[in-house]
Amino acid sequence: MKKLSINHYSLFILLSLAFTACQPKETTSFQYNVDKFYDLEILRYDVPEFDSLSLQQKQLIYCLSEAALWGRDILFDQNGRYNLRIRRTLEALYLYQTSKQGEAQTSNKVEDPNFDALERYLKRVWFSNGIHHHYSEDKFLPEFSQEWFVAACEKAGVTYDPAILPVMFDPAVMPKRTTAQDGVDLVLNSAGNYYGEGVTQAEAEAWYAAHKDNSPEPLWIGLNSKLVKNENGEIEEQVYKVGGLYGEALEHIVYWLREALKYAENDAQKLAIEKMIAFNETGDLKTFNEYCIAWVKDLDSRVDYVNGFTETYSDPLGITGTWESMVNFKDLAATKRTETISKNAQWFEDHSTTDPKYKKEEVKGVSAKVITAAILAGDCYPATPIGINLPNANWIRKEYGSKSVTIDNLVHAYNEAAKGNGFNEEFMIDDETRALYEKYGAVCGDLHTDLHECVGHGSGKLMPGVTKDALKEHASTIEEARADLFGLYFLGDPKLVELGLLPSADAYKAGYYQQQMNGLMTQLVRIEPGKDIEEAHMRNRQLIANWVYEHATNKEVEIIERDGKHYLKVNDYEGLRRLYGELLAEIQRITSEGDYAAAKEMVEKYAVKVNPELHQEILARYKKLNLAPYKGFVNPVYTAVRNADGEITDVKIDFSEGYVEQHLRYSKDYSPLPDVN
């Protein structure tokens, strides 16, 4: 719940399905698709509005992005103690081989399958920031042999630590990055480098228990440290700080944070950066708490950032933070859109199809914050979250609040990159529907999300005596359905065109077709054969699509068969809107009355079960498209233009760098840590 992570497979597919666009690529100069290997696809994201930022904001972004890039080695080392040695050996060999290939190009170039395998393996190591798959956390093996590797290194004059050989080639050595297996020592059996060699789970837990802070404003003991065994076999804490563990990288980060201070937009932002610097210098956890509070209070700045030891999923005991960074700035266009919706919250409430007795007399919309990512680093790169919700400490969230944002330009890149991948050609019924979707699919997707978040959840009221948990295990499915239906119903309202949120009276049809197709058919690609639908958002989408399908007595929607394939056909969009309105009224009634029996029946009848034949067909059609399930990004390149005094007078942004070039450059220019830390 802390962070919307693209690492969560479900969320990722949710995105790719909710927004998958169609049709051959439009002629745009921006290249979203960069590279594809194994189950991974590399995309590029645009940074719209960068040119409209003030010079000071650009200077700030430049310094913060340098502070971001200098942390890359930290993550490699946290992910495994051999990772830096392996990466550097592979890169040295790769550079030697590419220069040889370059020479050979003029004469007789020989195709070498081992070189291709080396390149693929290295690309994968870069993607995972180590030798374990970024999502499954299983170790992946090279497609070249140890014999070839040893001989190639020798020929190239590349020296390496022989200890990396079993780590790379023996499937039994360090097979899992973070193990969650029952009954085994989680620390000893995890390849992650959050604990020194020989430290056991019991020893680590005993140390944490002895040092735990139980005060009302507790220090997060262990957030920024590694527990190791000293020569007497005692547990010792090595703190991540300047002069301590990872100090060589943190020095550079501190340098660039100091540079960033010069360009801070206001005092609140300045205070937060100062606290972050002090924390990196001292490792003092009280300072970290002060930083979190200062950061969460800084709401007015356009530019914002995450930089440091943040999420704790990769530590098998869930305590130590993994290093990450993301620099971003407020997306003013999108923020304006959500403000328009919030301002009209009362109009939406009054005009919804729900019974007047379930309406709120006075309703307030919330305006969602939407940001543009400017650089991704550490555990946010190349695979990245599409939202941020920080800080993690519950007492700070309660007392001082939190920041929750969605990252619009990354969502946009996923949409654009999906164009022409064949998905909509396979599943949408005809050219006309695809053309409509190409034109309006993205705007409908954004708007539906905004309506869902800004007014959908906040609408309606409970009858006296009814509590939020009355619908028990079905509460979240019903609640998501309610917010989705609110959004769907108003997506088709002329009011949105009037407010300037939709470009034409026809546009909503793209969103309606997509909802029905996804809910009835295409979201099934995420379900294994024979399984039910479990996840609340998926249940809610099928509930809506199925209910409407069953109640379409005038064939407003139907499923037709053509050449052995099934397609969704919408005959009457107005009628479809009426059905959404009817269902919204009923779901609101169930919620307001706390009618558990009706909720249970609704969910069990429409949301859970899957038609096995249709499911098989969809899976087979999807498999043929050969789409990469995981995506990651390359960053833009920022270049500072300096005057004779060394002052930054402008910052240029460039999008032309490729995946391999980017990683080789980062390894060359931003690699301060020794092989062994």
Q: Which is nearer to Zn ion, 277 or 483 (CB)?
A: 483
Q: Which is nearer to Zn ion, 403 or 452 (CB)?
A: 452
Residue 273: exposed, middle, or buried by beta-carbon count in 10 A (0-12, 13-18, 19+)?
buried
Q: Which is nearer to Zn ion, 418 or 451 (CB)?
A: 451
CA angle 420, 426, 430 (to 5 degrees): 95
Residue 527's contacts (CB-CB under 8 Å, 6 or more residues apart) are: 533, 538, 610, 615
Distance CA 178, CA 193 (A): 10
Distance CA 639, CA 485 (A): 46
Q: Minimum CB separation from Zn ion for residue 479, in Å?
A: 7
Distance CA 326, CA 101 (A): 36
Q: Minimum CB separation from Zn ion for residue 248, in Å?
A: 44
Q: Which two tokens stand for residue 614?
A: 């249709």
Interface residue list for Zn ion (CB under 5 A): 483
Residue 56 burial (CB count, 10 A): 15
- The pairing of strands 40-44 and 33-37 is antiparallel
Q: Which is nearer to Zn ion, 397 or 457 (CB)?
A: 457
Q: Minimum CB separation from Zn ion for residue 363, in Å?
A: 17
* 197-to-99, 319, 320, 330 alpha-carbon distances in Å: 38, 18, 16, 44
Q: Which two tokens stand for residue 589?
A: 């009634």
Q: Minimum CB separation from Zn ion for residue 489, in Å?
A: 15
Residue 639: exposed, middle, or buried by beta-carbon count in 10 A (0-12, 13-18, 19+)?
exposed
DSSP state of 463: P
Q: Which is nearer to Zn ion, 3 or 302 (CB)?
A: 3
Distance CA 250, CA 277 (A): 9
Q: Minimum CB separation from Zn ion for residue 482, in Å?
A: 9
Q: Which is nearer to Zn ion, 436 or 485 (CB)?
A: 485
Q: Minimum CB separation from Zn ion for residue 543, in Å?
A: 14
Q: Minimum CB separation from Zn ion for residue 483, in Å?
A: 5
Distance CA 234, CA 197 (A): 12
Q: Which is nearer to Zn ion, 64 or 451 (CB)?
A: 451
Q: Which of 473, 465, 429, 448 is nearest to 563 (CA)?
A: 429
- The pairing of strands 648-654 and 637-642 is antiparallel
Q: Which is nearer to Zn ion, 186 or 602 (CB)?
A: 602
Closest residue to Zn ion, Cβ-based? 483
Q: Which two tokens stand for residue 651?
A: 């910052």
Q: Which of 225, 221, 265, 308 is nearest to 56 (CA)?
A: 265
Q: Which is nearer to Zn ion, 552 or 602 (CB)?
A: 602
- The pairing of strands 403-407 and 648-654 is unpaired
- Helix, strand and coil content of the chain, in percent to the nearest 5, comes to 50, 15, 35
Residues in the chain, total: 677
Q: Minimum CB separation from Zn ion for residue 476, in Å?
A: 9
- The pairing of strands 630-634 and 40-44 is parallel
Q: Minimum CB separation from Zn ion for residue 469, in Å?
A: 17
Q: Which is nearer to Zn ion, 187 or 455 (CB)?
A: 455
Q: Which is nearer to Zn ion, 142 or 445 (CB)?
A: 445
Q: Which is nearer to Zn ion, 90 or 483 (CB)?
A: 483
Q: Minimum CB separation from Zn ion for residue 544, in Å?
A: 13
Q: Which is nearer to Zn ion, 374 or 483 (CB)?
A: 483
User: Alpha helix locations (H) across 314-422?
Assistant: 332-343, 345-351, 394-400, 408-418
Q: Minimum CB separation from Zn ion for residue 452, in Å?
A: 6
Q: Which two tokens stand for residue 419?
A: 């164009």
Q: Which of 33, 199, 201, 178 is nearest to 633 (CA)?
A: 33
Q: Minimum CB separation from Zn ion for residue 514, in Å?
A: 17
> What is the C-alpha end-to-end distance of the chain, expressed in Å?
32
Q: Minimum CB separation from Zn ion for residue 403, in Å?
A: 18
